[in-house]
């Protein structure tokens, strides 16, 4: 029997969930639920309904995948919808996770639903790797590097520089820092030492390239503390080569199991599309949520609470025979 999924919110993430569900053998998409006028939402084929109509759909939907933002949507939506549905979200405001967990847990327990929060890759797969790393190599250091990835905030900062017509910024893990970590040095590294900044900039007509470059590389906080490169490109190149949303990064645990014996665990993501990958993780956790709910295991859960096998469409016996 298929797992029946509803998508709440239809931006890049919701669109990615729609695509990801099609690749899964055991899922069926009921539709997209939106606060916008459904007639104005063009999907990749999914039916579109008003968010308010969810009230009538409790018996048609096994799991809602919540695709709103962490800033204002999810803190309200996840507890509210967990009071009626089994849900999965990608809440990624690390500092507020305990509060979010508590609010969602109370709603889900009262309602007898299961709510998986903070899935995706960070929080999510990166978190799991931080946990496995420090549990296994009890003595050591954990390093998280982000990138190569498009940074929206830094791209916006570039666009505010006088003389800039258009720009994107990629955060790049600093290769020399990664090499030191891989070599088992266990260096102390700040976020700044771990990342370089790569800027692609289209100049306004008549703008002075050197002045613009100087304004960028000396910008406090955003660029001055980093190894920053600025490459000038044409508007055509910007449109052709820089519309994707790549991201990724590394989690590296470097530890010593005995004096002088270095052990290194490295987890790396290289993503052509950040939202499509996050969506793919959400969908796998939707399967786990449906199973936990069916087993009566209610309340809020995070990826730390969910056994790997629950994510796979295969049975436990198949997994032991094929993948162990």
Residues that bind its own copies (CB under 8 A): 16, 19-20, 23-25, 94, 97-98, 101, 118, 123, 125, 127-128, 130-132, 134-139, 182, 257-258, 260-273, 276-277, 279-281, 284, 287, 302-309, 311-313, 316-317, 319-321, 323-324
- Distance CA(52)–CA(34), nearest Å, equals 8
- Distance CA(56)–CA(256), nearest Å, equals 56
DSSP state of 188: -
Instruction: Quote the least distance from Cβ 298 to its own copies, whole Å.
Output: 15
Nearer to its own copies, 145 or 223 (CB): 145
- Distance CA(81)–CA(101), nearest Å, equals 14
The label of the residue with tokens 């017509």 reads 165
Instruction: Quote the least distance from Cβ 240 to its own copies, whole Å.
Output: 15
- Distance CA(222)–CA(78), nearest Å, equals 33
Instruction: Quote the least distance from Cβ 251 to its own copies, whole Å.
Output: 10
Instruction: Quote the least distance from Cβ 270 to its own copies, whole Å.
Output: 4
Nearer to its own copies, 86 or 228 (CB): 86
Instruction: Quote the least distance from Cβ 160 to its own copies, whole Å.
Output: 30
Nearer to its own copies, 60 or 272 (CB): 272
Nearer to its own copies, 45 or 220 (CB): 45
- Distance CA(177)–CA(125), nearest Å, equals 22
Burial of residue 97 (number of CB atoms within 10 Å: 0-12, 13-18, 19+): middle
Contacts of 212 (CB under 8 A, 6+ apart): 161, 162, 163, 164, 201, 203, 230
Nearer to its own copies, 11 or 313 (CB): 313
């Amino acid at each position: 029997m298929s797992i029946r999924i509803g998508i709440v919110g239809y931006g890049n993430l919701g669109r990615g969930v729609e695509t990801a569900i099609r690749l899964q053998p055991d899922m069926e998409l009921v539709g997209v639920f939106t606060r916008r006028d459904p007639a104005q939402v063009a999907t990749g084929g999914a039916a579109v309904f008003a968010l308010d109509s969810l009230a009538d759909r409790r018996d048609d939907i096994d799991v809602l995948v919540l695709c709103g933002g962490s800033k204002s949507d999810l803190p309200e939506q996840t507890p509210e919808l967990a009071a009626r549905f089994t849900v999965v979200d990608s809440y990624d405001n690390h500092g507020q996770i305990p509060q979010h967990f508590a609010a969602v847990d109370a709603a889900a327990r009262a309602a007898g639903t299961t709510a998986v929060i903070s899935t995706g890759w960070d929080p999510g797969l990166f978190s799991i790797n931080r946990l496995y790393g420090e549990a296994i190599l009890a003595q050591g250091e954990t390093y998280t590097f982000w990138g190569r990835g498009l940074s929206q905030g830094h791209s916006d900062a570039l666009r505010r520089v006088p003389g800039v017509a258009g720009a994107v910024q990629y955060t790049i893990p600093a290769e020399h820092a990664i090499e030191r970590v891989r070599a088992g040095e266990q260096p102390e590294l700040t976020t700044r030492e771990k990342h370089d900044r790569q800027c692609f900039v289209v100049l306004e007509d008549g703008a002075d390239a050197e002045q613009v470059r100087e304004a960028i590389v000396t910008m406090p906080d955003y660029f001055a503390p980093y190894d920053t490169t600025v490459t000038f490109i044409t508007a055509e190149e910007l449109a052709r080569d820089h519309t994707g949303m790549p991201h990724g990064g590394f989690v590296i645990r470097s530890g010593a199991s005995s004096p002088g014996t270095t052990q290194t665990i490295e987890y790396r993501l290289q993503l052509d599309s950040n939202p499509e990958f996050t969506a793919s993780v959400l969908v796998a956790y939707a399967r786990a949520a449906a199973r936990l709910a069916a087993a009566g295991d209610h309340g809020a859960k995070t990826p730390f609470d969910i056994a790997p096998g629950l994510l796979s469409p295969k049975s436990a016996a198949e997994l032991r025979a094929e993948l162990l």
